[in-house]
Each structure stands twice: as structure tokens, then as C-alpha cells.
Structure 1
Amino acid sequence: MSNTYCLVQSSGGQLELRGCVFSRSKDVPYVQSAFEAAQVELMPIWNYDPSVFFDIPHLRLTSPESDEMAHNVWCSSALQQCQTTLKPHQITALNFLRKNKSCENDIMSLWNQPTNGWLCRFAHEAGISMGNTQDGRSRGSILADNMGLGKTLTTLAYVLATSDAAAEFLWEDWINRSAATLVICPLATLSNWQNKIDIHIENQAIKYHVFHGPSRNQLSKKDLQSASVVLTTYKMIGKSGSALQPNRLTIGSLNLCWFRIVLDKAHLMRNPSAIRTQNLLQLESQFVLCLTGTPVQNRLTDLQSLIKMLKIAPWDRDQIWKNCLIPQMNVGAPEAIKSLTRLMQSVCLRGTKDVLLNLPPKVEHAVVVQNGSHWENWSRELHATFIRMFGRLRTSEERWDPAEFFRQMTMLRQFCNHPIFTRGELLIQPTWQWQDLGKIVHLIGSLQIFLNSVQGIPQTKAVVFSSFVGFLEIAIEADLKNSTRNLVGILLVNFKPLIDFIAWDKGIKFACIATMYKEAWK
């Protein structure tokens, strides 16, 4: 009769109780259920030695991610249409999104949790209506993974997995509804969505239209209703365009109920009273998905706007936030923390690179570099001038110019890169050398050591990214001419093929890439 051995870790509160659990084999399911009901996490011990514990075997608990991988039949067809294999955390996200959109998901059950008793009493005393929770209002989620973890690809896979439901939604009212997922994003990321569809999704698996610019006038209502995805920007949201162009075609003027709305960079609607936020709240959809790595940036009203967009009654009521949740959170009330935590656990999924990618610890090492003695005097003089003009030694009672303040501050920062960038402020015009500043000397020295001494790498290479072209030019001058390729103006969306090219070209050991211009090669 074998037993099991596990580590117990309490998931609630700041205090942790750790211990070992031994159980008869036949009782393992009951033990697991009991700990799960008590919200106590069972974890495997990586260095468990059965010989120390009378040869009692170690129960290997199945990880949540592997469970979800085994139960992803519902999206298997969608995954086959993705040319890029989704990672386990993306499969986890797909199942989370599916759970939150399920018709079996009772949106009032969250409100009726015992931990929200204080909120229920407040709502009752304040006469806040719970609203009709069966009126087909939007349901959805917040996907708040760190940047770079593939939220866009996860969303596209989810669009594929729910295409049948989208078609059914359209045919229930083919006049006023659209089967499309409306993706609203900043103009800067519009091309990124197009590239992701073209690169990661099989040809024609996702039919999409771009609703932006003059070409949007050529799109018919039928085009927008039958597409899988409609890409648009935040500037295209509104009822009737701008005051100067009242008849301008916008998303709001279409009067369509979308199957799903996806807000990319959803934190852009953090201000509840902003016109942009109000326009977004006027849009109609069956489901909503908010994509943001920072659901809370400065204050809780940032989160309030997202919850209102999801329309989870009665959490979307202004009185709940302004008169109850926010004041209690500001004083650190335990009941408010528990309620908000439960809410976020229900509607928000967040993954971090440290946990999902198993990255090594980040090592930060500060290196203090000094200017040459003749440049150190100039550095002190420039700093003293700045302090006299804008700092504690300011004597003038005149209001200082903000533009001049930022110009002077930028000049001081540029001096830290190299004195040549402040030559307009200096009274002398000496002969310049790249060795004139310790910062560039340290950078080049470290790069040369890396390129010449790394063991176990057949071809060592280094790439420096910067929007400060002047600094890159100094770095190029300091390095050996034969080992440097200066690549200027590579857009962010083109970085991967560029890096692949650098890795392939044996003649490149050190590359400098500027990110502020359009494509040009030197």
C-alpha cells in the first residue's frame, strides 16, 4: 500500500505554511480535493528521495498546463490552421478565454461570493440596481500577459476556434450583426496585426479587412459582416466622425453588433471620462477581449474602465467603484483587496516571462565611468548652469521656459554619451576623438572582450540597437571597420529577418541598428 509525498503551500495571505502530506494510495483523490477546496496548493518536491522515507513513492501531480494540452480538442482545428505552434501558456489562455465566454458562466456568481458580502450590503443600501444579467450583454476577459508572450497570436487562434459560433451569431440577425472580430488598435500596431495574420495563419484561414484611411469607403456592409477580422484604429471609433467631417464613415456609424471586440493596448481607455472611452463603451458586441500588459498603470480607475467595457454587472457600476472599492483599496481594507483579487482572478489572465520562459535571473551591474579631466570640468560647468537656470540656485523670478528646460536636460544627457553632442554650447572647438568619454570606451571594450573571448560559441556576434544615430556612428568609428555593418532604419516589425541575416552573414561580428528612420542601408 503506497503513500505519497508532497509539499503544501498556502496560497492565501502573506504567511506560508509548508509541510509534507502522506496518504494511502486509494485516498489520494480525496486528499487532493480537500486541499483544493481549502485553496491550499500541493506541489511536487524536486529533490524527493524515497529511500529516506521508507521507499514511499512520490506522487507526480499533473501540471495545469499539461491538463489543458490534453483537453484542447475544441480548438484542435484552429491550431492546425496556425503555421506557428502555440506554446503551453497560449493554450492555457485559449481555455481561459473559452471559459469566460461560455453561456454556462454565471456572471452573477462572482458577485454573490461570500467575500463580497460587504459590497452587496453597500449596493443594497445605496439602491444600486443589479441590472438584467440575461440580456445578452457583452462578456469577455482581460489578457494581460507581459509584452512578447504572443497575445496577438493567441487572439488569432481564438478567432479561428470560435468561427462557427461567429457564423451562428450572424445568421440569428444577418441585418444588424457581424460575424467579425473587430480589432481596435493604435495606428502604429495596425501593420503588425496584418503581418501576424499573414505570417502565422494559413492562407485565407482568416479573411480580414482594414477599416482605416480612404480605402475604407470601398468596403460594403456585407464585407464587414462576413469577414473573420476587421482591423481598425482608435481614431475610427465614433458615431459620426469629427466636427469638421460629420459624415465621415466610422465604426460607430455602421450600427453593427460585432461578434467580438478586441482592444489592443486596452490601457489607452484608462480615463473613464475621456471621449475615446465613451465612444468605445457605445459599441455593441457579444464578447469583449482586452489586451494589455498594464491593466493598472496609475490608479484603479484604469481598471474600472476595462471592467465597464466587459460589462460585468454590477461591477460596471460607477458607484461601486467611486464610493466603495476605490476608497477602501486606498486605505488597504482587507475585504476590498479580497474582492478585487477575486474579480481579477475571474476575468484576467496574466503570464510573466520569468515564469513561462524559465529565464535565468537578471543581473544588473552598475559601472561608474569618468570623463577625462579636461571634459570633467566642462561637465560640472554645464550642470552648474542648469542648476542656476532651473534648480535650487535659481534667482530669477521670471517663469522659466519648459521647452528650454527639456532642451538643456537633453543636452546634459547627450554630453554623457559624448562631448561632441554639446559642441554648440561649448566655447572651444577642440579635436574630437571617440575615446573622449569613458562610457563609449567601456562599451567598446566590453564588446571586444565578448567577441574575442566567449567560449563554446562558434561565431560570436553583437548587435547594438539605438534611436540615437550619432552615438552609433561613434561606436562604428571606434570598432574595427571590417567587422561592422551599419544598418539604419529597420522598422520594429522587420527586426526578426534582420537578425536572421546578421546571424547568417559570417562577415558581420558587430552590427549597429538605428530605429528612427525608414529603410536605408550603409
Structure 2
Amino acid sequence: MDEAHNIRNRSTGKFKAAVALKADCRWCLSGTPLVNAPEDIQALFQFLKLPPLDKFEIWNRSIGRPIKSGDALGLDRLRAFFSSLCLRRTKDLLKDRLPSKTVEMETIELGKHERDVYDVLLKTGRLLFHSLLNISAREALKNYSHILECLTRLRQACCSPTLIPPERIAAARRVLKIYAEYVDQGDDVKLTSKQVQELILKLQGVLDADEECCVCMEPKDALMCVLRKCKHCVCEPCLEKIIETKRGAQPSCP
């Protein structure tokens, strides 16, 4: 199996189908046998049907759990098992046969539309990152996936704006427009954690440009609304009234 790390998740149908294949011989080819956790390797052992480590319980007891607890014995066992099963081929083995690498760099100017899309995405990405960082480094780390999404969109914009859903670009423009209302004569505004989360939801397309409170039915700024689990937007004044009047009652959708 080429690119064998693609079956590292034991809960996927892809992994189960691969393990169920009937074969006299099995090989795994991969440049990254371990991607996220030691369990990635155990999935390959299951595909290769290598007893006893093809049984997850045995693997976890002898290798997985010791590695997670910091016991060097688990890593030593894994290395010993690997050394008896794996053939490793590095570029050093072929360095005398390969031609020298040539790197050429060219600067390409973005077109007007491409630059406009890129700048909008860049501004929203910076706004998100700095807003999270202003709260705390821990808050930024908790939301790293959203930051990576912004970086991915920037890379897509460099290739072609058509790779980005129009809704995502429109959401970025709305976020900048809403944030501009919080800025007084160019001074930066430090958003609260709740406002940053609403901003993230906005970029994900969960909130519309002008939200309507489901209680007072008045249009509200999206960053001034609270998005409940039921996906209804409730403005802060109405939410405070609900909490006060229904104190002690069973929570319910307004």
C-alpha cells in the first residue's frame, strides 16, 4: 500500500476496508508513518497483520501507554520492533546519482481583483489573530485551527481567488465593516473573548450581516448578539431579561 499513512485512523471506513483485503503479502510505503500519535503506527501493524502488536490492547499496554506516560521503555520497544521490520531509504543513498537542485524565484504581481481579495483576507486574518492574542496566548492556541484556515485562504488567494468560496470573501468583508464600527478615529479596540468568538462564527458563515433578535425582533449588530445552541440570536438586553425572569427554571429556547 502506497501512502500507507492515509489509513492511520482506525475508525474510518478506509482503514477497515484496507484491513479486510485478502493478500498473501503486505507492504506499507510511507514517508510519514507517524503523523499525529503513536497509534498511527499501530494502524499500519494491523494492516500488515503483525502479531502481537496488531492487537490494539497489547500495543497500548506494551508501547502506547508507556510512551504517553513518558516511560522510555515504550519507545525502546517501538524502535526494536521497527528495526526488525522496516527498510529505510533516505536521499543520502542516492545523492551521488541525483542532479544538483536548482531554485529559481520569481515575483508575480497580483491583479487588481486578486489584490483586493488578498487584502480583505489578510486584514481579517490579522484582526482575528491579534484579537485572540490580546486576550491571551492560551486563547490564540485554543483557536489555532481558525488561524490556520485564514492562512490557507491567503495561499488560495495567491493561486486564484476562484478557489475561495464567494461566501467566505463576503463574510470577511462584513467582519471588517462591523469591526470598523468599533473603531473610533483609527484607534484599535480590544475585543472581548465573546466578541472574538462571534467574529469567528461570522467568518464561518453562521451569522448573517444583520442579525435579528428572536425576542424583540429588532436588528442587532452581530457582535452584540449571543448565539445560542439552538442557533437563535438573542441580543444582550433581552438575554438579561430572560435570565432574570426565568431564574431557576428549566432552560428552554426563547
Larger radius of gyration: 1
Higher relative contact order (CA 8 A, sep 6+): 1
Give the TM-score category using the shorter length: 0.3 to 0.5
Q: Which structure: greater helix fraction?
A: 2
